[in-house]
């Protein structure tokens, strides 16, 4: 029994070290809303970017080379949305939830790897609606789902628990919703997903429902969903 407890303790220590930022001072965490453009910094870049290679990793696929020695690869799904900045940063347009994961900026000179990688972890937040209708009338019930897509070698739920990452809905004044808001029912089936259910009123036309992501007390990014009625199309809009 003592041996089993010892192994459990070692496992918890390993998980804690993995989830905290002990993997290197060059690690960068970027939070972004789906639909936005993002810039991923390369802190170890050499002049003119001809030595710069960007590699993408996710938990669900093999590593993919996006930029090789300063040249964009043509055979990647992200090809049209990628560009290399003058400072060797990686620019990605119109972020989707599939873009989350680890991006590594690596330097090669004469075929030899130089120094440590700059590792950039991209975390994507997205809000979606339970309704597929293009018009939602007053009196209808709608459920909005806010989800954070994140990868740090472990599950998203484990990572945000250790890192004090929080997802929550805010009202129109930017204040976190409370249980006193009787119009709304919130649930959190997982730490990386929260839902908001409400019955629409006439005054809800063109109203934004906002979901925030915070790290400690700092807002990292937010996503909003705007419900349109009166014959207008239901759509989503993203903002910071």
Give the tens place of pLDDT for each residue, 92-111.
999 999 999 999 999 999 99
User: Sign of torsion, CA 20 21 24 27?
Assistant: positive
Q: Pick the more confident residue, 129 or 5.
A: 129
Residue 71 has pLDDT above 70, yes or no: yes
Of residues 41 and 161, more confidently modeled: 41
Residue of 130, 177, 125, 121 lying closest to 147 (CA atoms):
125
User: In terms of Cα–Cα distance, which of 75, 124, 127, 80 is closest to 103?
Assistant: 124
CATH 2.60.40.10 range(s) for the chain read 24-124, 125-237
Q: Is CATH 3.30.565.10 correct for 24-124?
A: no
**Higher-confidence position of 91 and 233:** 91
Looking at residue 234, what DSSP letter applies? P
Class of domain 125-237: mainly beta
Q: How far apart are CA 226 and CA 175, in angstroms?
A: 18
Q: What is the pLDDT of residues 14-69, one digit of tens each?
A: 334 344 443 445 589 999 999 999 999 999 999 899 999 999 998 777 899 999 99
Across 129-147, average pLDDT: 80
The encoded tokens of residue 181 equal 């808001």
pLDDT at 17: 39
Name which of 163, 130, 129 is nearest 16 in CA terms: 163
Q: Percent of the chain at pLDDT above 70? A: 80
| Per-residue pLDDT at 84 | 96
Rounded Cα distance, 72 and 78, in Å: 10
Nearest-angstrom CA–CA distance, 215 and 105:
24
Per-residue pLDDT reduced to its tens digit, 43-55: 999 989 999 999 9
The whole-angstrom separation of Cα 234 and Cα 132 is 9
What's the rounded mean pLDDT across residues 134-138?
68
The secondary structure of 50-68 as a DSSP string is TTEEEEEEETTEEEEEEEE
Whether 135 shows a pLDDT value over 70: the answer reads no
């Amino acid at each position: 029994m003592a041996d089993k407890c010892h192994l459990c303790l070692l496992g918890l220590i390993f998980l804690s070290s993995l989830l905290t930022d002990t993997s290197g001072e060059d690690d960068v965490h970027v939070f972004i809303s789906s639909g936005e453009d993002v810039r991923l910094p390369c802190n170890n870049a050499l002049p003119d970017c001809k030595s710069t290679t960007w590699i993408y990793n996710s938990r669900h696929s093999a590593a993919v080379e996006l930029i090789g020695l300063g040249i964009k690869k043509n055979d990647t799904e992200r090809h049209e949305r990628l560009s290399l900045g003058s400072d060797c940063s990686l620019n990605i347009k119109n972020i989707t939830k599939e873009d989350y994961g680890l991006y590594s900026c690596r330097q090669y000179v004469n075929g030899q790897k130089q120094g440590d990688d700059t590792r950039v972890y991209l975390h994507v937040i997205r809000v979606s609606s339970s309704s597929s209708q293009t018009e939602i009338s007053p009196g209808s019930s709608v459920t909005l789902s806010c989800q954070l897509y994140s990868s740090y070698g472990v599950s998203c739920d484990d990572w945000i628990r250790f890192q004090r990452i929080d997802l929550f809905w805010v009202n129109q004044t930017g204040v976190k919703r409370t249980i006193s808001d009787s119009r709304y029912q919130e649930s959190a089936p997982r730490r990386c997903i929260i839902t908001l259910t409400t019955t629409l009123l006439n005054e809800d036309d063109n109203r934004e429902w906002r979901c925030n992501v915070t790290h400690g007390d700092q807002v990292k990014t937010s996503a909003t969903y705007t419900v349109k009625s009166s014959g207008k199309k239901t759509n989503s809009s993203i903002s910071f």
